[in-house]
Chains A and B, each alone.
Chain A
Amino acid sequence: MLNRRNFLTAAVGVAAATGLTACAKDDGGSGGSSSGGGGDKKITLGFSQVGSESGWRSANTDSIKSAAKEAGYNLKFSDAQQKQENQISAIRSYIAQKVDVIAFSPVVVTGWDAVLKEAKAAKIPVILTDRSVETKDESLFVTLVGSDFTDEGRRAAKILEKVLEKAGHKGKVKIAQLEGTTGAAPAIERAKGFKEVMDAEHKDDWKIVVSQTGDFTRAGGKQVMAAFLQSNPDIDVLFAHNDDMGIGAIQAIEAAGKKPGKDILIVTVDGVKDGFVAMSEGKINAIVECNPLLGPQLMEVVQTVKDGGTVDRWIKTKESDFMQDQAKDALPTRKY
């Protein structure tokens, strides 16, 4: 009896704790929507975000909120906190509220058919952002606005050619790779794209000597790089799947008494502010941008779709590559 009571108390405590966080997030969401204001002919956009797991993601959220405000749309925003069921219920509530367009960044790739069919039945167009879904029925969503991770990998390999040329590196190139979270789409596809170019054009001289996951985190990047430097002291190049792992690796390289950016050339993906700071200090050689600021592009697509226009199935985010000499100029424009 006592045990059961204890368990109940605890269960209520946990439920209250999670409930509180959920409420807090919801408040933030409705705050965002009310800031859009209320008008008669305004387009109402229902947006369901994955969560707020990284700096990249919060920049993405900010971009969408501010772009909606600028375009004068009424934005209904909700944060799914990494849970598909939250996202599905958010989309259902948007359908019930009869919004004009629904957009969302899917938490996972599968399991969307039912809710997307409901949206289709209600004649509400659905736009995906950042990540795609797997479905047999292509008519369930209009388009995907997001990055091409495989292409980011290819671009990283291409820009590495330039970096090597600039550094005057000749002959064999020993590459260490810091992969993202195992199984995550960006990690798999960036590695794939990089390897594609490497196998096609540099089969004889480039070689990935070590490759491990650093979980997209600084601590992970630092620890893995420290181990790499022990087992392969003669690494020439580091390719990190995101800036944060690169920044961690820089610290490990420095602790080993080497100069990042000189003794070991570094190419990373993302282009967050701290990455640009490191590049302006000469510690990163090149950054392949993965742009989270897709708000303006999303709003354009929303307008076109609402006006009955046709759009491509995949609208790729506008992204660029940066070399060291561009770092100082680009740094002030970095918002995240």
Chain B
Amino acid sequence: MSTPSAATTSRWRALTHHHLFWPVAVLVALLLVNVPFTPDFFSIKMTDGHLYGSLVSIVLFGSPLILVAVGMTLVIATGGIDLSVGAVVAITGALTCSYISDQADQNALSGVFLAMGVGLVAAVVCGLWNGFLVARMGIQPIIATLIIMVAGRGVAQLITDGQIITINSEPYKLIGGGYWLTLPFSIFVVAVVVAVTVALTRRTALGLLVESVGGNAEASRLVGIRSRRIKIMVYVFCALCAGIAGLMISSNTSAADGNNAGLWIELDAILAVVIGGTSLLGGRFSIGGTVIGALVIQTLTTTIYTIGVPTQTNLVFKAAVVIVVCLLQSPKFRAKVFGAKFGPKSGATSGGSAAAEPAKTVTTAEAAPKMEVS
């Protein structure tokens, strides 16, 4: 009797101790909350030759956030932070759209590619500037990136002349609002960026270098890692991701809005990274966790729209969910709450409260060194 239940307990423990367990659990819970409010929430049907449904919308509208958050993950892994991503989103969108709107033929592929190139180069320049300030000048990342966060939106407004630039370009519409092989095209872009990032950080030593710089930049330098170069690289990568997100956001509505494009996306991205289990102190990071985190935030936003939360309480609702998610992520909190409530209960099913006690100590004992490693 005790052997099979012990086996399930250990399997269950292995599952709950996986670093993605809690983010995924929250995501699933949020998705399920929608079901009573949205009839056939999980159903996906074909409309006008492409797939259509709530899940498709969540991925479509969540794509820019996933991209920005993936870039942010690497920056945070080096112990930094990038507040300028929202402004970079605005600048890229503004530059690209104003370039396309100047074209005689907005549907010309060459013009669209050139415009996107111009936008992305601007994004990379912003990233180089951030990286230069942080790595070469030794300025606190939060201050260094604040400069572009504040000034960048002004630059975007300067480019758009304070107006919303509307464009009418079919090829450009594809990247953020179009469909390919019945799926939103942005899914493919996100998949490629995530795959490349994972391959670069997990199949090469790059990920290890990033983690070691985040763990201790000075020690890394002393063992021969060029930590400055690594730092500049992650800021450039982050800005590039934000740039692609900027293309998506402006393409999604076929318009560049210097004031509102990507407004506060930096905070959502940081939140996604944290929900995904990457520590803000730097060091270990999880790209998969970040993607889940971004999906959690987008699902939460959609949920707010569909379950009829009054607009005045939107932010309170969002905050409450975020607090719960963060608490669930904390091993100390789990040990306190679940140890007291669920411990004896699961102990009773397995046949004795004595079994629960060691389980509890294991939880805390395992959690503590884990925190130190990361």
Contact = CB atoms under 8 A, between A and B. Distances in A.
Interface of A: 2-3, 6-7, 9-11, 13-14, 17-18, 20-21, 24, 52-55, 57-58, 179, 182-183, 210-213, 215-220, 222-224, 226-228, 230-231, 233, 244, 247-248, 251, 255-257, 274, 336
Given A219-B257, A227-B306, 16 more contacts: A2-B138, A10-B147, A11-B143, A13-B133, A13-B143, A24-B158, A54-B164, A212-B304, A220-B260, A226-B61, A227-B305, A230-B53, A230-B57, A230-B306, A247-B253, A274-B164
B314 A182 contact: yes
A335 B168 CA distance: 19
Contact of A179 (B52, B53, B260, B311): B311
Nearest to A226: B57
Given A226-B57, A257-B47, A219 B260 contact: yes
B220 interface: no
Interface-central residue, B53, B147, B164, by most chain A CB under 10 Å? B164
Interface string B146-175: 110011001001100111101000000000
Contacts, number: 129
A17 B139 contact: no
Contact of B252 (A6, A21, A222): A222
A219 B47 contact: no
Contacts of B289: none
B302 to A, nearest CB: 5
A216 B154 CA distance: 19
A27 to B, nearest CB: 13
B144 interface: yes
**Number of contact residues on B: which range applies?**
35 or more
B244 interface: no
B223 interface: no
Contact of B147 (A14, A220, A231, A256): A14
B162 A58 contact: yes
Contact of A219 (B166, B252, B306): B252
B314 A256 contact: no
B259 interface: yes
B311 A7 contact: no
Contacts of B261: 219
A182 B311 contact: yes
Nearest to A244: B164
A224 B305 contact: yes
B253 A251 contact: yes
Given A6-B139, A256-B47, A55 B311 contact: no
Contact of A55 (B143, B162, B254, B302): B162
Question: Nearest 4 CB-CB pairs, A to B?
Answer: A227-B305, A257-B47, A10-B143, A231-B306
A244 B164 CA distance: 9
Given A54-B259, A219-B261, A9 B249 contact: no
Nearest to A233: B39
Given A226-B61, A230-B38, A257-B48, A13 B147 contact: yes
B257 A14 contact: no
A212 B158 CA distance: 31
A222 B314 contact: no
Interface-central residue, B48, B146, B163, B314, by most chain A CB under 10 Å? B163
A218 B167 CA distance: 13
B243 to A, nearest CB: 17
Contacts of B257: 217-219, 244
Contact of A10 (B37, B140, B252, B306): B140
A256 B52 contact: yes
Interface-central residue, A53, A212, A231, by most chain B CB under 10 Å? A231
A161 B47 CA distance: 31
Contacts of B150: 14, 17-18
Interface string B225-253: 00000000000000000000000010011
Interface string B307-329: 11001101000000000000000
B311 A57 contact: no
B255 interface: yes
8 contacts: A13-B143, A17-B151, A212-B304, A212-B305, A212-B311, A219-B249, A227-B54, A227-B305
Contacts of B143: 6-7, 10-11, 13-14
B301 A218 contact: no
